[in-house]
Amino acid sequence: MKNNLMRIQAILVYAVLTLVIALFILYLGFMTQYYVLFFNGTSEMFDYYKLLQVFNKEAFNISLIFILFAGALSAFQLNKFRPGLAGLIVVIATTVYLTIRSLALISVLPKYKRGYLALDFSTWEDYAPTTFVFDAGLLLHYLLIGSLVLLTLVSIMTFVQRLREGKPLIRRLA
């Protein structure tokens, strides 16, 4: 049972790291799909583009903070060891912070998607509106929240195992 929980914990740590990196890359290239609104669009499209720029800047800044929190998970080597008290606190803090910030982005992504779909593209011949980045953002945030919640639960279980074995409350970093 111990080994299975550690395998699950390692998989979840890697899943969180992968999802955070994917979100970082998504928000890094978020506006690439919409530059045509700036160059070829109407004044309404340009105004929407400016709103999207504000959202993208905030989302990108949040994704940078996500990277820092994911780095903290790596620093405590939760993919290799059962967490000590400090590691468990980092997992819980990471879960709370990333979930709160993800929920904030999840709440506004559909609004921006609706705003994009409300624009009139009928005069553009070769342009096919796509909502891929909005949908990918929603999916990645939901997967991140789910992975973090599972990681927290598994980390609590492995922490309890650690205590039952009489290991010290605080694990020294190797």
Higher pLDDT, 147 or 73: 147
Q: Is residue 50 part of a domain?
A: yes
Mean pLDDT of 65-70: 92
Q: Is residue 171 part of a domain?
A: no
Cα three-residue angle 75-101-5, rounded to 5 degrees:
45
173, 89 contact by CB (below 8 A): no
Range of the domain at 146: 2-164
Q: Is residue 91 part of a domain?
A: yes
pTM reported for the whole predicted model:
0.89
Alpha carbon distance 103, 142 (integer Å): 9
Q: Convert the pLDDT of each residue in 100-147 to its tens digit.
A: 999 999 999 999 999 999 988 888 888 788 899 999 999 999 999 999
Q: Is residue 97 part of a domain?
A: yes
Mean pLDDT of 41-59: 88
Whether the per-residue pLDDT at 48 is higher than 80: the answer is: yes
Q: Is residue 42 part of a domain?
A: yes
Whether the per-residue pLDDT at 37 is higher than 80: the answer is: no
Kindly give the interhelix angle for 2-28 and 132-164, rounded to the nearest 10 degrees.
150
Q: Is residue 15 part of a domain?
A: yes
Q: Is residue 119 part of a domain?
A: yes
Q: Is residue 16 part of a domain?
A: yes
Q: What pLDDT does residue 127 have? A: 78
Mean pLDDT of 146-158: 94
Domain total of the chain? 1
Percent residues over pLDDT 70 in the chain: 96
Q: What is the mean pLDDT of the chain?
A: 88
Token duo for residue 56: 């993208």
